[in-house]
Amino acid sequence: MRRCVCPGSYDPVTMGHVDVVERAAKLFDEVVVAVLHNPEKLGTFPVPERMRLLKESLGDRPGVRVVEYGGRLLVDVCREVGATAVVKGLRSGTDFAYELPMALMNRHLSGIETVFVPGDPRYGHVSSSLVKQVSAYGGDVTGLVPDVVRDALKQRWANGG
Ligand code: PNS
């Protein structure tokens, strides 16, 4: 059984994330989508809401499950679920500069490898933070995030953020 972890804040999940998970599912028998805390980012959606949106966005894909691992090291999560690799998408050289030290640190800590997949150019401009900003000011994010996420964002801003 070849298993990987797709880690992230997923605050909220975007079409770029969905694409990476779908592609990881073609390379591995099981994909564990792990919602982890990023100490450098203030959250918008509470973790249970991020999980709900992820589950609804990914549907019932065989071999894909969504888990929450608050306050843990990614390498400990990988060890616990029996993953042999971490999979992450890269939109640009800026992403690579951000991801490379984490990949090296994770390999230093546990030997786990990180597999990078090139982000689909259709979503090269899509990030959770930009989508939130556009949506907060009334812009249309249809097609950049799953419809459930677009609706959850609208609802959030309607309720005062
Ligand atoms: O979606 P993000 O915010 O870019 O994801 C970053 C994340 C959550 C994958 C990263 O911050 C992480 O792995 N956090 C868990 C804690 C940890 O293991 N930190 C050391 C990684 S080198």
pLDDT tens by residue, 134-151 = 999 999 999 999 999 999
End-to-end Cα, the chain, rounded Å: 42
Output the pLDDT for position 40.
83
Catalytic residue among 91, 107, 154, 156: 91
47-58 and 15-27 helices, crossing angle to 10°: 60
Q: Is the pLDDT of residue 161 over 80?
A: no
**Cβ–Cβ contacts within 10 Å for residue 66, how many?**
21
Residue to mutate, 6, 14, 35, 38, ligand 1, most ligand atoms under 8 Å from C-beta: 38
Do residues 120 and 19 make contact, with C-beta atoms less than 8 angstroms apart? yes
Minimum CA distance residue for ligand 1 atom 5: 8
**Atom of ligand 1 at shortest range from CA of 77:** 18
The tens digit of pLDDT for each residue in 69-128 reads: 988 999 999 999 999 999 999 999 999 999 999 999 999 999 999 999 999 999 999 999
Q: Where are the alpha helices (DSSP H) in the chain?
A: 15-27, 47-58, 74-81, 93-110, 128-136, 147-158
Question: Global pTM?
Answer: 0.96
- Centre of ligand 1 to C-alpha 44, Å, is 17
